[in-house]
């Protein structure tokens, strides 16, 4: 037996007990006549002591051989510590060592195994097994485990059953690129890895399973943006005989349950906002509502005063930023320059300072009188000391740019409380969006989302105006979940594919298995999927997904530690009957 206790559990209650501990040498202090060792395992740190008066000489010899991260086993007696450490649970005691064994040696680690390490990210990824020994890293994985457990507990209590769906499935042309897997038993043919278990969960609803969930790996062969992984985890859910309201209630409950069990926070009913309102008020379909700074439209007040830049544009919209009166003219210029960067691409803006004396100073004083500016301030509820920023342009672009500014100001002004959780349902998403590049309609959520019944008549006449019973759950400005009520009628599903540019033959070839299933008594159904990696990181107050994955891939999609992907043998390629192009 390697240990009687872990390094995190002994206290004064265990005084005089004979114990055996195993773990890693975290720190050694050698005073010659006395040696202290901080022994570390997953559960904590316990101090070992060897001293001249009470310990055998041979222990000093073993101790001399030790280095950081050596794995040792120590047997001894729990004694009271003279100088206690109140910061750790074991800080009242130490172990007077009687037997000491080196279980394994360690080279000097390339970075310090401490909460604050001197290792850069790349090095820590290369030696991920050492990084995992650090509390901040280990604790994130434990947190993830706890969240997964609570998700399963909540959903099981609500009679959901977790069902595994296949990982080797059929490639579909919709959406992001599939990873494909050549089949040796069926040469020339390929499986695809699922981007989501969407069609399978719908088949399960046709199959009467009623309430399904799964915490499941999904895959996307996309060029990787920062902090996006080619393999990611979803909480995937589907329910039969439900309307949007039923789904929102269940998953609002799940989110409340998670906030309660992970943080002890009780949050009441979640606010809801339509997609239209979110875009108008925040220029964003996942607004962070921990702070205000909402948009105000000013067309009626700002146009027609001879200011050409505003007059000719579709939309004039502004925000009022608090406490920016300390901004000098130069600061403002820099802020406006920031907005003009290609990533934001804003142009056509005006600033208006609300002076402490109630007067206004603006960059367009030539066109707007103090009265005009006062009307702006009233609309925007701007206070003394605020800085109003007005922008004009094409409505959709301008809102997006102003949203970027709003988030930037929140960052600079520290308007977001990292301890606060502000959930929000965004509902009534448009069913379709027109893609200029491919010159056709795309499904905003996915092709299985149902139009709102009252909008079905617009399928031919005005597709852009159709709304869907589609919803996103937003937490602190992060989209953590999204779903919809689905189509469950073959005819409507066919129309949908037609609208998305499929020929009937293509639709049948790709999704016939689902549409055919709809002919055998498909119940009304809908669902939701949560990005589990993001959910966990947002719940933990972080936005770095990668930290919550034990062995993440880098931005080139590579597993750095194991050096994958890699070349494979010609013999293996031959067996698969594929060849590499030059």
- Comparing CB distances to a second copy, the nearer of 117 and 325 is 117
Least separation, in Å, of the C-beta of 73 and a second copy? 8
Q: Write the interaction track for a second copy spanning residues 48-87; mark x where CB under 8 A is met and - where it is not.
A: ---------------------xxx----------------
- Comparing CB distances to a second copy, the nearer of 353 and 534 is 534
- Comparing CB distances to a second copy, the nearer of 138 and 458 is 138
Structure tokens at 522: 């498909």
Identify which range of 78-86, 308-316, 349-357, 515-523 contacts a second copy by CB under 8 A.
515-523
- C-beta separation of 351 from 318 below 8 A: no
DSSP string across 170-223: ---SSSSPPPEEE-SSSTT-EEE--S--HHHHHHHHHTT--EEEEEEEEE---P
Per DSSP, the three-state class of 351 is strand
- Of 107, 106, 130, the C-alpha closest to 118 is 130
The gap between the terminal CA atoms of the chain, to the nearest Å, is: 57
Q: Write the interaction track for a second copy spanning residues 193-232; mark x where CB under 8 A is met and - where it is not.
A: x-----xx--xx-xxxxxx-----x-x-x-xx-----xx-
- Annotation-wise, does 508 bind a ligand? no
- C-beta separation of 425 from 248 below 8 A: yes
- Of 245, 253, 255, 237, the C-alpha closest to 423 is 255
State which of residues 117, 171, 274, 542 lies at the interface with a second copy (CB under 8 A): 171
DSSP string across 439-497: TEEEESS-TTBPBPGGGTTHHHH-GGG-BBSEEEEEETTEEEEEEEEBP--HHHHHHHH
Q: Which residues of 483-497 are buried (b: 16+ CB within 10 A; e: fewer)?
A: bbbbbbebeebbbbb
State which of residues 88, 123, 169, 332 lies at the interface with a second copy (CB under 8 A): 169
Q: Does 458 bind a second copy (CB under 8 A)?
A: no
What's the CA gap between 221 and 176, in Å, rounded?
A: 7
State which of residues 19, 517, 538, 545 lies at the interface with a second copy (CB under 8 A): 517
What's the CA gap between 275 and 396, in Å, rounded?
A: 13
Structure tokens at 135: 């509390």
State which of residues 370, 383, 417, 556 lies at the interface with a second copy (CB under 8 A): 556
- Of 530, 452, 532, the C-alpha closest to 492 is 452
- Annotation-wise, does 5 bind a ligand? no
Q: Strand 387-393 and strand 349-354: pairing?
A: antiparallel
- Comparing CB distances to a second copy, the nearer of 165 and 284 is 165
State which of residues 30, 276, 294, 559 lies at the interface with a second copy (CB under 8 A): 559
Q: Does 521 bind a second copy (CB under 8 A)?
A: yes
Q: Strand 161-162 and strand 211-219: pairing?
A: parallel
Pick out residues in 127-166 that bind a second copy (CB under 8 A).
Answer: 127-133, 138, 141-142, 144-145, 148-149, 152, 156, 161-166
Q: Strand 387-393 and strand 18-30: pairing?
A: unpaired
Residue 509 dihedral angles phi and psi, to the nearest 5°:
-65, -40
Identify which range of 315-323, 432-440, 448-456, 562-570 contacts a second copy by CB under 8 A.
562-570
- Of 74, 69, 63, the C-alpha closest to 32 is 63
- Comparing CB distances to a second copy, the nearer of 89 and 557 is 557
The H-or-E segment that residue 191 falls in is strand 190-192
Instruction: Please give the size of the binding site for a second copy, defined by CB under 8 A.
Output: 124
- Annotation-wise, does 131 bind a ligand? no
Pick out residues in 176-195 that bind a second copy (CB under 8 A).
Answer: 177, 179-193
Q: Does 121 bind a second copy (CB under 8 A)?
A: no
Identify which range of 326-334, 361-369, 389-397, 573-581 contacts a second copy by CB under 8 A.
573-581
- Annotation-wise, does 533 bind a ligand? yes
- Comparing CB distances to a second copy, the nearer of 162 and 297 is 162
- Comparing CB distances to a second copy, the nearer of 144 and 399 is 144
Q: What is the dihedral of CA 465, 407, 437, 297, to 10 degrees?
A: 40
- Annotation-wise, does 42 bind a ligand? no
- Annotation-wise, does 532 bind a ligand? yes
Q: Write the interaction track for a second copy spanning residues 343-382; mark x where CB under 8 A is met and - where it is not.
A: ----------------------------------------
- Annotation-wise, does 174 bind a ligand? yes
- C-beta separation of 175 from 218 below 8 A: no
Least separation, in Å, of the C-beta of 534 and a second copy? 14
Q: Does 450 bind a second copy (CB under 8 A)?
A: no
Q: Does 557 bind a second copy (CB under 8 A)?
A: yes
DSSP string across 220-231: ---PPPTT--SE
Least separation, in Å, of the C-beta of 554 and a second copy? 11
Structure tokens at 180: 């494909």
What's the CA gap between 329 and 455, in Å, rounded?
A: 50
- Annotated binding residues for ATP, written as ranges, equal 220-222, 229, 479, 531-534
- Annotated binding residues for L-aspartate, written as ranges, equal 174, 220, 445, 486
- Annotated binding residues, written as ranges, equal 174, 220-222, 229, 445, 479, 486, 531-534
């Amino acid at each position: 037996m390697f240990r009687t206790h872990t390094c995190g559990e002994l206290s004064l209650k265990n005084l005089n007990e004979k114990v055996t501990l195993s773990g890693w040498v975290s720190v050694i202090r050698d005073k010659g006549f006395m040696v202290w060792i901080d022994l570390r395992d997953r559960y904590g740190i316990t101090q070992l002591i060897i001293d001249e008066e009470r310990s055998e000489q041979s222990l000093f010899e073993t101790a001399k051989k030790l280095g950081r991260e050596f794995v040792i086993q120590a047997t001894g007696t729990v004694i009271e510590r003279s100088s206690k450490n109140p910061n750790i649970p074991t800080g009242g005691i130490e172990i007077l060592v009687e037997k000491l064994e080196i279980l394994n040696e360690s080279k000097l680690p390339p970075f310090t195994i401490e909460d604050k390490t001197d290792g850069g990210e790349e090095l820590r990824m290369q030696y991920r097994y050492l990084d995992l020994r650090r509390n901040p890293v280990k604790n994130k994985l434990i947190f993830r485990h706890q969240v997964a457990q609570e998700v399963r507990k909540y959903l099981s209590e609500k009679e959901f059953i977790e069902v595994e769906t296949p990982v080797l499935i059929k490639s579909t042309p919709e959406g992001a690129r599939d990873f494909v897997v050549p089949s040796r038993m069926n040469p020339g043919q390929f499986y695809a890895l699922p981007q989501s278990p969407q069609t399978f969960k719908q088949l399960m609803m046709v199959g009467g399973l009623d309430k399904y969930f799964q915490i499941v790996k999904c895959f996307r062969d996309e060029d990787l943006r920062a902090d996006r992984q080619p393999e990611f985890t979803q909480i995937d859910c589907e329910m039969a005989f439900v309307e949007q309201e039923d789904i929102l209630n269940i998953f609002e409950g799940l989110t409340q349950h998670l906030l309660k069990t992970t943080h002890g926070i009780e949050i009441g009913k979640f606010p809801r906002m339509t997609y239209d309102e979110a875009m108008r008020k925040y220029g964003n379909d996942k607004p962070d509502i921990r702070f205000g700074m909402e948009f105000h439209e000013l067309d009626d007040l700002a146009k027609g005063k001879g200011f050409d830049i505003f007059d000719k544009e579709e939309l004039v919209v502004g925000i009022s930023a608090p406490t920016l009166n300390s901004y000098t003219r130069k600061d403002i210029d820099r802020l406006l320059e920031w907005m003009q960067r290609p990533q934001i691409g804003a142009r056509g803006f005006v600033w208006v300072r609300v002076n402490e004396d109630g007067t206004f100073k603006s960059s367009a004083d030539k066109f707007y009188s103090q009265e005009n500016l006062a009307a702006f301030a009233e609309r925007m509820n701007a206070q003394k000391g605020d800085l109003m920023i007005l922008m004009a342009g094409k409505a959709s672009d301008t809102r997006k740019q102003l949203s970027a500014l709003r988030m930037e100001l929140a960052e600079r002004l520290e308007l977001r409380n990292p301890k606060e959780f502000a959930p929000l349902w965004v509902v009534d998403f448009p069913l379709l969006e027109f893609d200029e590049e491919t010159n056709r309609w795309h499904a905003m959520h996915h092709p299985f989302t149902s139009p709102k019944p009252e909008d079905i008549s617009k399928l031919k006449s005005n597709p852009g105006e159709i709304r869907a019973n589609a919803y996103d759950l937003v937490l602190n400005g992060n989209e953590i979940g999204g779903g919809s009520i689905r189509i469950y009628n073959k005819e409507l599903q066919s129309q949908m594919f037609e609208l998305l540019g499929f020929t009937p033959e293509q639709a049948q070839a790709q999704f016939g298995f689902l549409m055919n299933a709809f002919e055998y008594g498909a119940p009304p159904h809908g669902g939701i999927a949560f990005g589990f990696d993001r959910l966990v990181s947002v719940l933990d107050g972080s936005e770095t997904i990668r930290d919550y994955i034990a062995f993440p891939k880098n931005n080139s999609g590579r597993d750095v530690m194991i050096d994958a992907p890699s070349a494979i043998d010609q013999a293996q390629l031959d067996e698969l009957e594929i060849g590499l192009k030059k």
